[in-house]
């Protein structure tokens, strides 16, 4: 799909991090942008910034875990701009789970699935039929993670499971769009290849009461800065991928109709090979033995 001035892009989780970087990049291409986020203050700040850059912006507070909220977003987008050409289902949270998998609280699973999995499906259901009916070329980008789609991350099992679901959901979407003969492409995004400075580390700030923790945490939440300091003190070198680089991968991938939006990385390639080879060999997953589980 060729991105052109005047087209419309919808981005969830758009108030910060990867979502805001994508919105900025679409605006640079001359697209009108619809920003959706659950955090209203940050959302308005992001919208003001993009308007200051000359972009046409619609900002809506949206809880992607609620289907009606996403339908209302679609209604507002079509009322304001008459069409949607790019949909980025990007909103996501970390679960805040502690301990072994069997010790995780049900609400940790429920919240993460509500946003990371149901949020993507709600976006697909609210927008894709209208995008198909519009008859114009379009593209859907669903944000996954290397933790779930390339190499499972046992230290963040709830998050990894939800992101693995996003991969399969996007593969299914791709197949259904092809069967429909729709002029829509579909892609799964793996941000990286290194760590990213995003608000995911502080997801608990937006955790709704209906998914509240059922018991006090054994340890305080640790933000990115604290984690980074601890890793460096332990002698580990930490690399970060700029969110702007991720946005560039998205724009390039849409233009190339690329399903796997996966930045080139020998590290990622090794992980993919190790997992695939284990499956082909019917061997135990030795690649999981390198993780240190406290």
The residues annotated as belonging to the active site are 159
Q: What is the 3-state secondary structure (H, E, C) of the chain?
A: CCCCCCCEEEEECCCCHHHHHHHHHHHHCCCEEEEEECCHHHHHHHHHHHHHCCCCEEEEECCCCCHHHHHHHHHHHHHHHCCCCEEEECCCCCCCCCCCHHHCCHHHHHHHHHHHCHHHHHHHHHHHHHHHHHCCCEEEEEECCHHHHCCCCHHHHHHHHHHHHHHHHHHHHHHHHHHHCCCEEEEEECCCCCECCCHHHHHHHHCCHHHCCCCCCCCCCCCHHHHHHHHHHCCCCCCECCHHHHHHHHHHHHHHCCCEECCCCHHHHHHHHHHHHHHHCCCCCHHHCCCCCC
- What are the Cα distances from residue 226, in Å, to 5, 57, 220, 230, 233? 42, 35, 11, 6, 11
Decide if 151 contacts 105 (C-beta within 8 A). Answer: no
- Distance in angstroms (rounded) separating the CA atoms of residues 147 and 28: 30
Residue 25 burial by Cβ neighbours in a 10 Å radius (0-12, 13-18, 19+):
buried
Nearest CA to 214 out of 52, 73, 95, 62 is that of: 95
């Amino acid at each position: 799909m060729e991105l052109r001035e005047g087209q419309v892009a919808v981005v969830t989780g758009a108030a910060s991090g990867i979502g805001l970087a994508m919105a900025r990049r679409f605006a640079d291409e001359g697209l009108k942008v619809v920003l959706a986020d659950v955090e209203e203050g940050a959302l308005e700040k992001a919208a003001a910034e993009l308007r200051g850059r000359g972009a046409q912006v619609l900002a809506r507070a949206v809880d992607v875990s609620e289907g009606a909220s996403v339908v209302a977003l679609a209604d507002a987008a079509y009322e304001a701009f008459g069409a949607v050409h790019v949909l980025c289902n990007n909103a996501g949270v970390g679960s805040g789970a502690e301990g072994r998998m069997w010790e995780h609280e049900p609400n940790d699973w429920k919240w993460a699935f509500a946003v990371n999995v149901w949020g993507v499906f709600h976006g697909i259901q609210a927008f894709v039929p209208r995008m198909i009916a519009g008859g114009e070329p379009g593209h859907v980008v669903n944000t996954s993670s290397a933790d779930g789609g390339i190499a499972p991350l046992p230290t963040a099992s709830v998050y990894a499971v939800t992101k693995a679901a996003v991969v399969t959901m996007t593969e299914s979407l791709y197949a259904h769009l092809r069967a429909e003969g729709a002029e829509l492409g579909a892609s799964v995004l793996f941000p990286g290849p290194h760590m990213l400075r995003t608000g995911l580390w502080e997801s608990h700030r937006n955790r709704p009461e209906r998914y509240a923790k059922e018991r006090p945490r054994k340890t305080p939440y640790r933000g990115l800065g604290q984690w980074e300091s601890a890793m460096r003190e332990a002698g580990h070198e930490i690399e970060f991928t700029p969110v702007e680089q991720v946005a560039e991968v998205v724009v390039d991938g849409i233009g190339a109709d690329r399903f796997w939006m996966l930045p080139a990385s020998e590290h990622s390639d090794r992980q993919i090979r190790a997992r695939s080879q284990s499956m082909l060999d019917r061997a135990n997953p030795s690649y999981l033995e390198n993780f240190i589980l406290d």
